[in-house]
Structure 1
């Protein structure tokens, strides 16, 4: 069917489609929006219309499907009064928080294992007594590990240049004698050993 002939037949059906839209939508404004959307969809899909079939039935099917799709989407939307937008909480950017979280994750790996366990348990909200029982240590030792671990975390995340090798939180650089070194292994005597 040529476009001008299809357009003329579609315009002839506007009155019938408007009445159907009012029955579906309920209000005149919503019905006008639905009619306009349906007319645009009919025109866009004109190549799929089969000549000789009922144009009004085809248009009503498109209108009904558009209406039902809109209803489904409306379930996930809420009507809000205009002043409610002003009262909504705003969301600030969180890029710095992501960087801070990455830094804390790195700093946790730099803690001694006993301090890391204590800090993570305290961060989960476990009580001092329960956390000490889980680790099998006295409560005072747990508190001490948490305090030292938090101090070390703070230094690692806030103070650039904090040494990584020291056992105590300090800003001095480690000296070679403070770095733990393994004693050299004795050489093995392989004389007389047969392989194979």
Structure 2
């Protein structure tokens, strides 16, 4: 077997898998920053080339998406600098602000995903109560009438369910950073 026939080292496989999994998120991120899907595709390709060139710098076990996103951010800044004379290209300050907003939106999406997991873990009566209150927008009084319980009992049950959800989400955040 020659060197060319050898299988890639496991760390390269991890890198390839991580890069593949990151493509859609990177494209969304870049598109949000530049507002032009065609330019975003070009920037993504440049980002991918740079990621491959820097593959040996990536440490398995660290957050690949954060590393790749930072490289994409600098590629967007380079694009904006190169296109700076075009009045349709965002400036550095706006790109930085948009980047922060996109990261906040990703954090919200991640947290909502954790909340959905935790909702599934609630007891069915608590899940039903939460759904009636927040999905159907029932007031405490309406819940009291519908479920035949006092308003204070409904408030207490909602409080316990919300606390259980919060504790679950916080545990998940620690387990899935």
TM over 0.5: no
Largest Rg, 1 or 2:
1
- TM-score in terms of structure 2 length: 0.41
Relative to total residues, which structure has the larger helix share, 1 or 2? 2
* Higher RCO (C-alpha 8 Å, min separation 6): 2
- TM-score in terms of structure 1 length: 0.37
